[in-house]
Amino acid sequence: MFSRLVFVGLVFAGLALWPLVAGAYGLDLVIKIMIAAIFALSLELLVGATGLVCFGQAAFFGIGAYAAALLMARFDGAALWWLLPAAVLCAGLYALLVGALSLRTKGVYFIMVTLAFAQMAYYVVHDTPLGGGTDGIYLPGVPVAPLDLGKPLAFYGLTLASLVLVFGVLGLLLRSPFGRALAGIKANEQRMRATGFSTYPYKLAAFAVSGAIAGLAGFLFAVKDGFVNPELLAWHQSGSVLIMIILGGLGHLRGALIGAFALALLEEFFKSEAVWGGFAKHWHLGLGLTIILSAALLPKGLVGIPQLWRHRLEARRD
């Protein structure tokens, strides 16, 4: 337990000190990774903590992003103090609606229903004037008051604070009686029901919280890029965030952090023409092979490497 806290503390301390040594590109890259980490933490609450494999997480991410764009266009000079909670609330409410219906199914049916709801949201912004169609929407500016997010350091600070807050809140949540109930549902939902727990409200609450956190990530992504388009809600976004938590290690919040950083850095590595030359245009191939090898050789993800090494050392001693 202590070593885990030290690891997480060192990660956050390193992120806090990063702007002192990073250039503009390095700052932008780490902001993108931290947003991806918040997105990954939202799905970790469902998959890793509750055992609900959701394939529609991109819908909540995209709704948070579109809410930011549409509200800023409607209210000129929107302030951060109400715009961010409004975007998070929009994503959370849609998650509540999706969860209320999809949680009445199980297994592969649950996966398909969540995907169907995500595709519905995708086509609403893709095929109607509401979301600007395929052209998307440019944000008219950046939120201010109390922070001017047009300044890179201010936006970096907000993103890091959001990541630390989400990680801390989820850590406390999973150690609370509510979190222990989610762990029981993941382990054996029928036994939880037999002991008197009504599991549906717990799952629905987890689903809504997960959607709200994904909406926070979407809001930050929209403000960072100054542009939103329907691809933010596409199914491959849900697939990418699922890969992050599997790569990092399911069942661990720090696994979501590690997975987000690992996937983003692997993409940068395989896209590098300085390393791969002309083969860099086929970066998906190298990334895919790496993920396959990781899944085969590291069944518990990157977070399980220390335990794997300990087992090997013990085997050699024996």
* pLDDT (tens place) for every residue of the chain, 318 residues total: 677 888 899 999 999 999 999 999 999 999 999 999 999 999 999 999 999 999 999 999 999 999 999 999 888 767 889 999 999 999 999 999 999 999 999 989 999 999 999 999 999 999 988 888 888 999 988 887 788 888 899 999 999 999 999 999 999 999 999 999 999 999 999 999 998 889 999 999 999 999 999 999 999 999 999 999 999 999 999 999 999 999 999 999 999 999 999 999 999 999 988 888 888 888 989 999 999 999 888 888 999 888 888 888 887 887
Number of domains in the chain: 1
- Per the confidence metrics, is the pTM higher than 0.85? yes
The range of the structural domain enclosing residue 214 comes to 2-317
CATH number at residue 250: 1.10.3470
Element (H, E) at 267: helix 253-271
